[in-house]
Structure 1
Amino acid sequence: MILDLLFPNRCLHCNRIIEADLLVCDLCFGQIHFTHYDYSKNNPVKEQCKLSFPVENTYALIQFEEDSLSRKIIHELKYSNREITGKILAEWTIERLDFRELRPDLLLSVPLHPKKQRERGYNQLHLYTEVLSKYYEIPFDHQLIKRNYYSKAQALKDKKHRLETINTFSLTKPITGKHILIIDDVFTTGTTVSSIAWEILNAGDNKVSVLVMAMDV
């Protein structure tokens, strides 16, 4: 296409021209720091979650170091209007995540406030969640929980304000007896997933696990 010739897709790291459905070139792919966590065992995400709420299993795809390629990838997903990045991240996750006998019953992505979603044009987690849902044959529900307040991006908040998440989320319908996998983009303090987890846990005889695209170390 003419647009592909005029504005070719380029590697996020070295700026080399690459195919339209890629984020990085083959040479730079090795610069992505995958965690290699085991979903069924202890890992840094699980240890952090356990400080705030009862959690079953956890997984993070990549490390989110300062000035890293991993950080560029997440920012591309969230702020550069490239929703397709979620599909690519989902494919990388599928290659590395094996639920085995610990499969959840439902996939639940962290919601944006409706105003924020209108501003961005999409929820950066929806396509990611839907690709995982199709591959693992686990249903998803984008409407189960809602964000009650509009706020600026977590990346623009200081640590004190990131902790102010009381009553940030609420369930839109009853749910009980389910094992729900909460999906978020970046795990930093864990307060977002903790707030959602307690809404789910307090609703009935439910269990929660956590999957994040990136772990902020």
Structure 2
Amino acid sequence: MILDVFFPNRCISCSRIIDGDLLVCNVCFGQIRFSHFDYSDENILKERCKLLFPVENAYALLRFEKESISRKIIHHLKYQSREKIGKTLAEWTNERVIFEDRKPDMLVSVPLHPKKQRKRGYNQLHVYTETLSELYSIPFKHGLIKRNHYSKAQALKDKKHRLENQNIFSITESINNQHVLLIDDVFTTGNTLSMIAWEVLKSGNNKVSILVMAMDE
């Protein structure tokens, strides 16, 4: 196409021209730090989650390091209108996560407040979640969790302010005997996922697992 000639797809990291369906070039792909966690086994993310709420399994695809390609990828997804990056990340996840007998019953992504979603134009987790739903044949439910208050990003708040935020989320319908896989972009303090996890757990005899695109170290 003529647009490909004048506006070729470039590697997010080094700007080398690459095929239109790729995110990074082969050289930069080799520099991405994947977590190499085992979804069904113990790992650092699961240990951090267990300090906040009961968790069955936890997995982070990438390590969210400073000046890393992982950070650039997430930044482009969230702030550069590159919503389709979620599809690539879902495909990378599918290559690395095998649920086996621990397959969740539904996928639920962390919601944005409607005001923030209108401003951004999309929820950065939706394409990721929907692609995973197709790849694993697991239903997703975007509307299960509602964000009640418009607030700054967790990463921009100090610890005291984070702890003051209660009742930010609520569950829109009761669920029972469900294994819910909660999906977020970056695990930092875990406070957001913790608040949502407790809403799910309080709703019925449910179980919670965690999947994040990247884990901040």
- Report the TM-score, using the length of structure 2 for normalisation: 0.97
**Structure 1 residue 151, shift from structure 2 partner:** 1.3
SS at match of 2:208: strand
Confirm or deny: 8 A CA contact 1:125 1:184 kept in the other structure. Answer: yes
Normalised by the length of structure 1, the TM-score is: 0.97
Q: CA offset at residue 4 of structure 1?
A: 1.9
Tell me the secondary structure at the aligned position of residue 215 of structure 1: strand
Tell me the residue number matched to 2:24.
24
Shift of 1:131: 0.7
Query: What is the distance in 1 between the residues matched to 2:158 and 2:82?
Result: 26
1:96 alignment partner in structure 2: 96
| 3-state DSSP of counterpart to 1:143 | helix
The equivalent of 1:70 in structure 2 is 70
SS at match of 1:214: strand
Give, in whole Å, the separation in 2 of the partners of 1:202 and 1:127.
28
C-alpha contact 1:165 1:195 (8 A) present in aligned 2: no
2:53·2:194 contact (CA, 8 Å) conserved in 1?
Answer: yes
Contact 1:133 1:139 in 2 (8 A): yes
CA distance in 2, matches of 1:167, 1:104: 25
Compare 15-24 and 70-79 and name the one that shifted more.
15-24
Structure 2: distance between partners of 1:193 and 1:91: 23
2:144 counterpart residue number = 144
**What runs of 5+ residues in structure 2 fail to find an aligned partner?**
none
2:196 corresponds to which residue?
196
- Confirm whether residue 41 of structure 1 aligns to residue 60 of structure 2: no
- Aligned-partner SS, 1:117: helix
Q: Where do 1:118-137 residues align within 5 Å?
A: 118-137=118-137
Residue 183 of structure 1 deviates from its aligned partner by 0.4
Of the structure 1 ranges 205-214 and 158-167, higher mean CA displacement relative to structure 2 is found in 158-167
Counterpart-to-counterpart distance in 1, 2:24 and 2:159: 31
* Identity %, equivalent residues: 69
Deviations 1:20-40 (A, max 9, x none): 221110111011100010011
**Could you tell which deviates more after superposition, 23-32 or 160-169?**
160-169
Question: What are the residue-to-residue correspondences of 1:169-208 with 2, within 5 Å?
Answer: 169-208=169-208
Residue 157 (1) aligns with residue 157 (2): yes
CA contact (8 A) 2:155 2:188 kept: no
Deviation string 1:96-140 (CA, Å, 9 cap, x unpaired) is 000011001010000000011111111110110111111111110
Deviation at 1:9, TM superposition (A): 1.3
Letter in 2 for 1:195: M
The one-letter code matched in structure 1 to 2:172 is T
Q: Structure 1: give runs of 5+ residues left out of the alignment.
A: none
Say if 2:85 is the partner of 1:81: no
Change beyond 3 A, Cα 1:42–1:66: same
Deviations 1:47-87 (A, max 9, x none): 00100111000100000001101000000110000111000
In the aligned structure 2, how far is the partner of 1:97 from the partner of 1:202? 27
Q: Which amino acid aligns with 1:165?
A: N
Name the counterpart of 1:211: 211
Tell me, in whole angstroms, the C-alpha distance in 2 between the residues paired with 1:119 and 1:155: 19
Distance, in Å, in 2 between the alignment partners of 1:207 and 1:39 is 15
Contact 2:61 2:93 in 1 (8 A): yes
Determine helix, strand or coil for the equivalent of 1:213: strand
Structure 1 residue matching 2:142: 3-state secondary structure? coil
Task: Look up the match of 1:58.
Answer: 58
CA contact (8 A) 2:60 2:214 kept: yes
Q: Secondary structure, in 3 states, of the residue corresponding to 2:146?
A: strand
| Equivalent AA in structure 2 for residue 134 of structure 1 | E
